[in-house]
Amino acid sequence: MLSVELHAHSALSYDGRDPVDLLLEQAAGVGLDALAVTDHDEIDASIEAAEKAPDYGLVGIVGMEVTSAVGHVLAFGIEEGIESGLPFDETLDRIRDQGGIAVVPHPFQKSRHGVAAHVSDEQLASADAVEVYNSRLFTGRSNRQAEKFAVRNGLPMTAGSDAHISEMVGQAVTEVGADERSAAAILDGIAAGRTSVVGKRTPWRVSLKQFGGGAKRRALRALDSLR
């Protein structure tokens, strides 16, 4: 079983803070086997992280968090960025066209661009996996809804820290049964449902810090774009 962080943001995300080296350093420091950097609608930092990962004793997985027309979708195993704003079904198709897998993060969290409120159960169940434990929770209700949905529909389950600062990498990880220590084997293991989730809640003060820092960075970038 390999311990994998499948949901982490770098400074390339509009609400991320740290460069990929700090994310990789943290992942290695907490004993993970693999890391996917999943920036919002950006892929360059994830490619960089995947290239550097072996230097930290890690497997790097290329991915991104795509903003579909109805909410967020994690894309893994892709080579090029997926266009934002596409319909949910087309977003999944574009990911698979590149040989990747589509995982729906925090599907029942409306305030975090979860897709469940805007797609049918059949559409949601067409994903390759569902994130059932996101460490940025307050009551845990949305995570429980996601887990129940995944169990009811026989979907593979994943976890993610949804880290926007490097210290939170590894808060929630997916244990994957992989045939070998590689990105392809990890993604095959996820798609086949050879997963279990391990996680703990991101402390509220840290969640607020991440939210506040992200809001500040978004504002500064908006101002820069006006200059």
Cα–Cα–Cα angle for 103, 108, 68, rounded to 5 degrees: 50
**Over 60: is that where the pLDDT of 79 sits?**
yes
Domain chopping of the chain, boundaries: 2-225
**Over 60: is that where the pLDDT of 93 sits?**
yes
pLDDT at 223: 59
Distance CA 74, CA 38 (A): 7
User: Which amino acid, residue 97?
Assistant: D
Contact 73, 106 (CB under 8 A): no
Predicted structure pTM score: 0.90
pLDDT tens per residue, range 16-50: 999 999 999 999 999 999 999 999 999 999 999 99
pLDDT at 113: 94
- Place 220 in a pLDDT band, splitting at 50, 70 and 90: low
pLDDT tens per residue, range 46-61: 999 999 999 999 999 9
In the chain, the largest separation of any two C-alpha atoms, in whole Å, equals 51
**Over 70: is that where the pLDDT of 216 sits?**
no
Q: Is 2-225 a domain of CATH 3.60.10.10?
A: no
Q: Identify which of 66, 152, 62, 137 has the alpha carbon closest to the alpha carbon of residue 106.
A: 137
Q: What is the mean pLDDT of the chain?
A: 92
